[in-house]
Amino acid sequence: MYAAGDVRIENRPDPKIQSSTDAVVRVVLSCVCGSDLWPYKSMPAVDAGRPMGHEFLGVVEETGSDVSGVAAGDLVVAPFTYCDNTCDYCVRGLHISCRNGGRYGFDGVDGGQGEAVRVPQADGTLVKLPVTADSALLPSLLTLSDVMGTGHHGAVTAGVGRGDSVLVIGDGAVGLCAVIAAKRLGAEQIILMGRHSGRTDLGRAFGATDVVAERGEEGTARVRDITGGNGVAKVIEAVGTRQTLETALAAVDDGGTISRLGVPQYEDGPVGPSMIMRNITLTGGASPARVYIGQLLPDVLDGTITPGRVFDQTFTLDQTPAAYRAMTDRHVLKALITP
């Protein structure tokens, strides 16, 4: 990406092992993330393009001398940041804060939207998949790199449990995965706020019991109607605008929890006296996808959850610019990319 709206396919040097803890992974599947659309809408022009993409699975091609957990030929999935999985932050489930971690597309590390990626901290980062590269499960397994783990993080940090009522704000891939996660953790009532009927229909298939298409005050009034007037104890905010945070605050019950996913597109939020008088908790954050892969993988393998259904169109690598446009125009929910 060279600037907002300017995504180009270019030849880059082939990734090579640079450190003994690196692996080179040949990408089998990658995709475009909702968070890729923020720079697509706003990134100032840069001279050297920024490699894009942080969700991919592929086959290990080569490993550094200190890598023992994966080997050439292994099919692996990568969480959306790399991490050593052993530092004090990783041990506490804060892989995003890993002392040796980082982001794809930065600091000389390749992006996932490409043919191959040098993955630092390969042992800590990559998870071997017990399927072959032609498995029909690949799209669902790819969601473990980000959106499914992120939705799961929302449900976990909101404290969703058996019998709960949960509000999910946002019908993007993360919101829909949060519906899957809430249902998986036992929620009984899952209200999905979204206006795109194709997406909310998928949300219903994933377990949403109610859909609210209205926004703002009208939307929160509907949520309060559905929940008997009090609002919802647990809210997963999967959009990231100030307006959706305001909706979350208006829809949450006193004493409730709002879990935010995705990167806020605001610096300041309405966290004044009302939040204190109502004992509202604001939590959530960037998911420790690495640790959730292990927790969610069995359910993907046995078909209990099918998050891969969020991919509604496949593009070749050359078509990636069109994938960005289609997702920005909301013609496509989530674009799968095949090299």
Distance CA 241, CA 234 (A): 18
- The 87-126 site mask, x for binding a second copy (CB under 8 A), equals --x--xxx-xx-----------------------------
278 lines the binding site for a second copy (CB under 8 A) = yes
Q: How far apart are CA 150 and CA 263, in angstroms?
A: 11
Q: Minimal distance in Å, beta carbon 53 to a second copy? A: 19
Separation in Å, CA 146 to CA 127, 151, 165, 249, 281? 13, 9, 24, 26, 24
- Cβ proximity to a second copy: between 125 and 157 the closer is 157
Residue 217 or 254: which CB sits closer to a second copy? 254
**Closer CB to a second copy, 88 or 218, in the complex:** 88
Look at residues 81, 78, 110, 123 and name the one whose alpha carbon lies nearest to residue 14.
110
Q: Which parts of 206-225 interact with a second copy (CB under 8 A)? A: none
Q: Rounded to the nearest 5 degrees, what angle is found at the Cα of 241, between the Cα atoms of 283 and 232?
A: 50
The verdict on 156 binding a second copy (CB under 8 A) reads: no
Say if CB 211 and CB 202 are below 8 A apart: no
Q: Is 4 an interacting residue with respect to a second copy (CB under 8 A)?
A: no
Under rule CB under 8 A, residue 133 binds a second copy: no
As to burial, measured by CB atoms within 10 angstroms (0-12 exposed, 13-18 middle, 19+ buried), residue 162 is exposed
CB of 30 to a second copy, least distance (A): 22
Distances (CA, A) of 177 to 52, 92, 302: 22, 23, 17
Q: 97 or 313, CB closer to a second copy?
A: 97
Window contacting a second copy (CB under 8 A); options: 2-10, 85-93, 104-112, 118-126: 85-93
DSSP summary character for residue 91: H
Contact between 313 and a second copy by CB under 8 A: the answer reads no
- How many CB atoms lie under 10 A from the CB of residue 9? 13
Q: Applying CB under 8 A, what is the total number of residues that bind a second copy?
A: 33
Task: Check residue 254 for interaction with a second copy (CB under 8 A).
Answer: yes
Q: Letter for the amino acid at 244?
A: T
**Closest to 84 measured CA to CA, from 145, 128, 125, 127:** 125
135 vs 283 by CB, closer to a second copy: 283
Q: Running DSSP on this structure, what letter comes out for residue 220?
A: H
Instruction: Please tell me whether residue 204 binds a second copy under the rule CB under 8 A.
Output: no
Distance in Å, CB of 311 to a second copy, minimum: 25
Contact positions with a second copy (CB under 8 A) in 283-302: 283-286
Stretch that binds a second copy, among 130-138, 160-168, 279-287, 301-309 (CB under 8 A): 279-287
Read off the tokens for 230. Answer: 């009090």
Output the six-digit token pair for 331: 């013609």
Residues near a second copy (CB under 8 A) are: 89, 92-94, 96-97, 157, 254-255, 260, 262-264, 266-273, 275-286
